[in-house]
Structure 1
Amino acid sequence: MQSSFLPLNTRRLQKRAQVETPDSLYWNRLAKPELLKERNTIDYVDFSPSDPDNFVLTCSVRVQIYNLVTKLVVKNLSRFQKTAYGATFRQDGRLLAAGDEEGHVKLFDTTSRNILRLFKGHTAPVHRTFFTADKLQLASFGDDKAVRMWDVANEKVVQTYGDAHTDYIRAGAMHPQATHMFVSGGYDGKIHLYDTRAETAVQRTLDHGAPVESMLFLPNGSIFVSAGGSQVRVWDLISGCRLLTMMSQHHKTVTCLRLGSDGRRLFSGGLDRHVKIYDVSTYKTVHTLTYPNAVVSMAVASRDQAVVAGMVDGLVSIRRMIVDSKPSHLGKIRTSRSRKLYKNPVPPNNTQDVDHVIKERVKGPGLQVYDVHLRQFNHKKALDEVMLPIKVKKHPEIMVAVITDLLHRRSLDKALIDRPDNILVTFINFLCTHMGEARFMRPLLMAASTVLDVFERQLVTYSRKLMAALERLSAVMEAEVKITTDLMRLKGAMDMLIGVSMDNGEVVHKSPYVDTKGQKMQPSSAAESYVVTVEQ
């Protein structure tokens, strides 16, 4: 007679899968990062419009052009006596401009590495330089609180705007279509919109609310974006520079902005080690990239071929987009053979008049080793089977499932008595490591309580190593209880603030343990039940 013993259900203890969206599927195609290491902070990254496989890095006294495929330096523009800043390509990729610590702006020919022009006029470092839409002029933004427009052909100043800002100017953007329009952002938190045709060049002054670190225009030119502090703000140029929306997805300073997917996606990088990707149509976050250190510069290649991020410690992360490859001829043959082998058989003709055909029963997976031990009531052997280091590291949910089953059988204390110290220490270390995970908290808190109840009777007879593990377990339990208590107090404070903000008490805020009918509810975790018991 076949046994009705069922294997343990470990699926309910697995991590909750993230909701897959078209954006998450698309951006997950970015390969693992390939890393380059420079000596200092990566100030600026820019891709060549003419050659998408080349990008320029500005770091310390060097401006280097790298190849995206080989990760090797193609050209080294080391004509700087002091620190270089903000090297950017012109729209055709033939020229490259960069500022420096001396207040100079240098113009390079990317084919010959020669300095074509040297613009002198700033009295402080120049951090950002951008070309106008007609490629004939160049704008420079300096720490001397001035913005200067340069004529590329004549090497002369066209216009100087020196009274707009009251602090360093570290951000700017040129209108993608109108040559006469651009914006600047300063550390005074102000944003200025310029029109070079008007008598008063500064047409509008906006307040970002924090030092502005980066700016850009959307491709249509009617909207521009500013980043500073922990906020990214979107401004509508047509409706009088009205604030459209404000995004606060970073919890530290936002340092750089970029566009991707032909202007349909907005990237923002920050000191919180994250790069957020927004949908420009809704301005909602659609994906997040995580980096090992604070991101200070970033560039996105055309057609999203790669995302290059420069970090504060000189690390450069290159993530290339994986292109879907077509299946080979051999793969097609294997696929066709497998389909023929596992194709469902056609029912015989004599079954056509039958109301329902019962298919052959598919045999489920067999019992695991720990299931066999649990079936035979060998609780110690079942616990030993799942405490193997490889299983604990890769599949902790299996061990938690066994612990939960032993708790239901009220046999966990029997499985822990008369065991060697090394096994007990391993078990306690597992509890300390995974107790903070929400999916494991309830059974592991109950298991920890069982451990302390079992071993508190004969503390004198235990070894020093086991005593240290028990003390560590007690400290972890106290920390989890304290965190839960603080969260409950925070929830109460937030409920009170929300209740005060409502008009005439339209929303009634109840205790988290009382339902709509006034009946008491059970706490959602063992830690909460423990806290409720203590407070009562």
Structure 2
Amino acid sequence: MDSRFYALNIRRYQQRAQVETPDTIYWERLEKPEFLKECNTIDYLDFSPSEPDNFVVTCSVRVQIYNLVTKLVVKNLSRFQKTAYGATFRQDGRLLAAGDEEGHVKLFDTTSRNILRIFKGHKAPVHRTFFTNDKLQLTSFCDDKSVRLWDVSNEKVVKTYNDAHTDYIRAGAMHPVAGNMFVSGGYDGKINLYDTRAENAIQRTLNHGSPVESLLFMPNGSIFISAGGNQVRVWDLISGCRLLTMMSQHHKTVTCLRLGTDGRRLFSGGLDRHVKIYDTTTYKTVHTLTYPNAVVSLAVAGADQAVVAGMVDGLISIKRMIVENKPSHLNKIRVSHAAKERKKLVKKLIRPDTSQVVDHTIKDRVKSTKLQTFDVHLRKFNFKKALDEVLVPRQVEKHPENTVAVITELLQRRALDKALTERTDAVLIQFIDFLCTHMGEIRFMRPLMNAANTVLDVFEGSCVSYSLKVMEALQRLSTAVQAEIALTVEMLQLKGAMDTIIGVSLNDSDRPKTRIAAPREARMQPSARAEKYVIYVD
């Protein structure tokens, strides 16, 4: 007969593993983030088209160009008296435009850092500036509710659209193919579509339903996307700006939009600290990136080389893509070391033995496992010491599953009542508080409800001999049990209502032939169950 004592099988309750998809595998190749810290909220991020390793950061009164590899400032454009906004590169990367709080739009040469033009005319902060597709004009979107089109060469206004919105204009996007078309989004929830060739410049006005934070055109120009509130909306430009679909994957405001993977993936960042990645063919979420704070700006390098996110506290997160085709020197060392270890393992497993010709060798000796302290006490039938071991505050806080495992073992041995009798008030109150704290967790509910029943049976008829603090703890336990019973009753009522609705909607042929009976505990009368756990304190 085997006299060995086996340790408790403690359930870990791990979260369900995420289903692996090609997108999950691809985006998991992003390295651990590297962080840069600025002094204020990161207003805007943009990658240089000519030098893909450089990206511009707009923050406070500075516009700085960083190198993606070294994480150092390459150029510092600090020609702003007040806050700068929305610095963006031209399509060739040679020029950079940014608005400021004074209502000016400044044009810089990215090579020499000189100011080439200062466009004056707005009466409020200019938050977004974008170059047209032909690179000859510049559009500015301002808080004075106007949109202006500037000529880059002579520093003059080409067209002004006053009162384009009834609130601040904080978003805009230029058509990637037609240089005469662009859209603007305001805090009035409206989206305006412009055509500079027509007499009536505003061709159409759409309603996003929330203050518009960001706008984006797809690469072919037939679809544009708007973000505001917790929604991302997709509009079909060809069919008269028809709403194609709407995504509500964020539970807080969506602040920025970007494209990746050559336009096949859409990124949306929000104040909920998440960046959602969508497939632009189905507009379904394929991956999620999580950040330490609210994301207010986003930039994606060409060929998905890096994803850079700016946060509300001035933190910049840089996640670079691991290139498998060109392994680094460190990766080569790791690969060679792994190959050597693999060879050693193969030699150990496949070792010829000419002494005996056998298929398998079965070892008689079983590897012994080290028992934990509460297992040792359970082996010696010291139930009180085993319970005390798992009621230590550090054990309860970090490993409540150990405490539940010991309680379950004591219940199975019918020894929990023995472990609770003749105990001090402090131990009893600690045990009851553990039951009240973790009884609402679905993973612990069944064993702890049985433990609560045992506790109430132990104290039944002998309440006079216990102190007032113990009686108050028992009252808390009774309240917690009744709350769980009331919640169960409500869930059963909801289930009954849903079954009725589903049953009415089904046809006779689709209606199920059998009915699954509710558990015995669920069929008990609520009042009878509740009365069992009521304790009265004088």
If the TM-score is normalised by the length of the shorter chain, which range does it land in? 0.7 to 0.9
1:291-335 deviation per Cα after TM superposition (whole angstroms, max 9, x unaligned): 333322222233333333223333333334455534343332222
Q: How much does 1:215 deviate? A: 1.0
1:13, 1:440 within 8 Å by CA — same for their partners in 2?
Answer: no
Partner of 1:511: none
- Tell me the SS of whatever aligns to 1:319: strand
Provide the rounded CA distance (Å) in 2 between the counterparts of 1:46 and 1:467: 64
Partner of 1:414: 418
Partner of 1:224: 224
Specify whether residues 59 and 394 from structure 1 end up closer, same or farther in structure 2 by C-alpha distance, changes over 3 A only: same
AA aligned opposite 2:231: Q
> Which sits farther off after the overlay, 303-312 or 173-182?
303-312
Provide the rounded CA distance (Å) in 2 between the counterparts of 1:431 and 1:25: 41
Q: How much does 1:256 deviate? A: 1.2
Partner of 2:336: 329
Question: Within 5 A, what are the aligned runs for 1:90-239?
Answer: 90-239=90-239
Aligned residues: 519
Q: How much is the aligned-residue C-alpha RMSD, in angstroms? A: 3.9
> Which sits farther off after the overlay, 359-368 or 238-247?
359-368
1:489-523 deviation per Cα after TM superposition (whole angstroms, max 9, x unaligned): 66677777x66xx9x74379xxxxxx963453128
Partner of 2:383: 379
- Tell me the SS of whatever aligns to 2:123: coil
1:47-96 deviation per Cα after TM superposition (whole angstroms, max 9, x unaligned): 22333333322222222333334444333322222222111122232222
Partner of 2:447: 443
Provide the rounded CA distance (Å) in 1 between the counterparts of 2:527 and 2:265: 46
Partner of 1:343: 350
Unaligned runs of 5+ in 1: 352-356, 509-514
Specify whether residues 429 and 328 from structure 1 end up closer, same or farther in structure 2 by C-alpha distance, changes over 3 A only: farther
Provide the rounded CA distance (Å) in 2 between the counterparts of 1:321 and 1:470: 57
Partner of 2:518: 521
Partner of 1:257: 257
Q: How much does 1:227 deviate? A: 0.8
Partner of 1:77: 77
1:158-195 deviation per Cα after TM superposition (whole angstroms, max 9, x unaligned): 22223543322211111222222222222222222222
Unaligned runs of 5+ in 2: 325-330, 533-538
1:128, 1:140 within 8 Å by CA — same for their partners in 2?
Answer: yes
- Which of 357, 360, 371 lines up with 2:362 in the alignment? 360
> Which sits farther off after the overlay, 468-477 or 261-270?
468-477
Partner of 1:400: 404
1:395-419 deviation per Cα after TM superposition (whole angstroms, max 9, x unaligned): 5434433322222223223234445
> Which sits farther off after the overlay, 374-383 or 174-183?
374-383
1:403, 1:447 within 8 Å by CA — same for their partners in 2?
Answer: yes
Q: How much does 1:264 deviate? A: 2.1
Q: How much does 1:222 deviate? A: 2.0
Provide the rounded CA distance (Å) in 1 between the counterparts of 2:379 and 2:526: 32
Specify whether residues 105 and 505 from structure 1 end up closer, same or farther in structure 2 by C-alpha distance, changes over 3 A only: same
Provide the rounded CA distance (Å) in 2 between the counterparts of 1:381 and 1:281: 62
AA aligned opposite 2:97: A
Partner of 2:310: 310
Provide the rounded CA distance (Å) in 2 between the counterparts of 1:532 and 1:345: 72
Provide the rounded CA distance (Å) in 2 between the counterparts of 1:173 and 1:8: 62
2:229, 2:252 within 8 Å by CA — same for their partners in 1?
Answer: yes
- Tell me the SS of whatever aligns to 1:24: helix
- 1:60 aligns to 2:57 (yes or no): no
Provide the rounded CA distance (Å) in 1 between the counterparts of 2:260 and 2:445: 41
Provide the rounded CA distance (Å) in 1 between the counterparts of 2:429 and 2:351: 52
AA aligned opposite 2:52: P
AA aligned opposite 2:276: K
- Tell me the SS of whatever aligns to 1:252: coil
2:485, 2:530 within 8 Å by CA — same for their partners in 1?
Answer: no
Specify whether residues 444 and 37 from structure 1 end up closer, same or farther in structure 2 by C-alpha distance, changes over 3 A only: farther
Specify whether residues 265 and 470 from structure 1 end up closer, same or farther in structure 2 by C-alpha distance, changes over 3 A only: farther
Q: How much does 1:116 deviate? A: 1.3
1:441, 1:525 within 8 Å by CA — same for their partners in 2?
Answer: no
Specify whether residues 533 and 250 from structure 1 end up closer, same or farther in structure 2 by C-alpha distance, changes over 3 A only: farther
1:247-289 deviation per Cα after TM superposition (whole angstroms, max 9, x unaligned): 1112222111112233222111222222222122221112222
Specify whether residues 190 and 474 from structure 1 end up closer, same or farther in structure 2 by C-alpha distance, changes over 3 A only: same
2:172, 2:182 within 8 Å by CA — same for their partners in 1?
Answer: yes
Give identity over the alignment, percent. Answer: 69
TM-score after normalising by structure 1: 0.82
Provide the rounded CA distance (Å) in 1 between the counterparts of 2:525 and 2:285: 36
1:446-492 deviation per Cα after TM superposition (whole angstroms, max 9, x unaligned): 3345445546745874596x788767666665665666566666667
Specify whether residues 339 and 148 from structure 1 end up closer, same or farther in structure 2 by C-alpha distance, changes over 3 A only: same
Q: How much does 1:105 deviate? A: 0.9
Provide the rounded CA distance (Å) in 2 between the counterparts of 1:337 and 1:489: 63
2:233, 2:246 within 8 Å by CA — same for their partners in 1?
Answer: yes
AA aligned opposite 1:405: E
Provide the rounded CA distance (Å) in 2 between the counterparts of 1:33 and 1:483: 43
Provide the rounded CA distance (Å) in 1 between the counterparts of 2:338 and 2:212: 53
Q: How much does 1:150 deviate? A: 1.5
- Tell me the SS of whatever aligns to 1:335: helix
Specify whether residues 20 and 237 from structure 1 end up closer, same or farther in structure 2 by C-alpha distance, changes over 3 A only: same
Q: How much does 1:437 deviate? A: 3.5
Provide the rounded CA distance (Å) in 1 between the counterparts of 2:261 and 2:211: 28
Partner of 1:354: none
- Tell me the SS of whatever aligns to 1:250: coil
> Which sits farther off after the overlay, 455-464 or 373-382?
455-464
Specify whether residues 131 and 197 from structure 1 end up closer, same or farther in structure 2 by C-alpha distance, changes over 3 A only: same
Specify whether residues 381 and 32 from structure 1 end up closer, same or farther in structure 2 by C-alpha distance, changes over 3 A only: farther
Provide the rounded CA distance (Å) in 1 between the counterparts of 2:393 and 2:212: 50
1:103, 1:125 within 8 Å by CA — same for their partners in 2?
Answer: yes
> Which sits farther off after the overlay, 175-184 or 415-424?
415-424
2:463, 2:471 within 8 Å by CA — same for their partners in 1?
Answer: no
Partner of 2:327: none
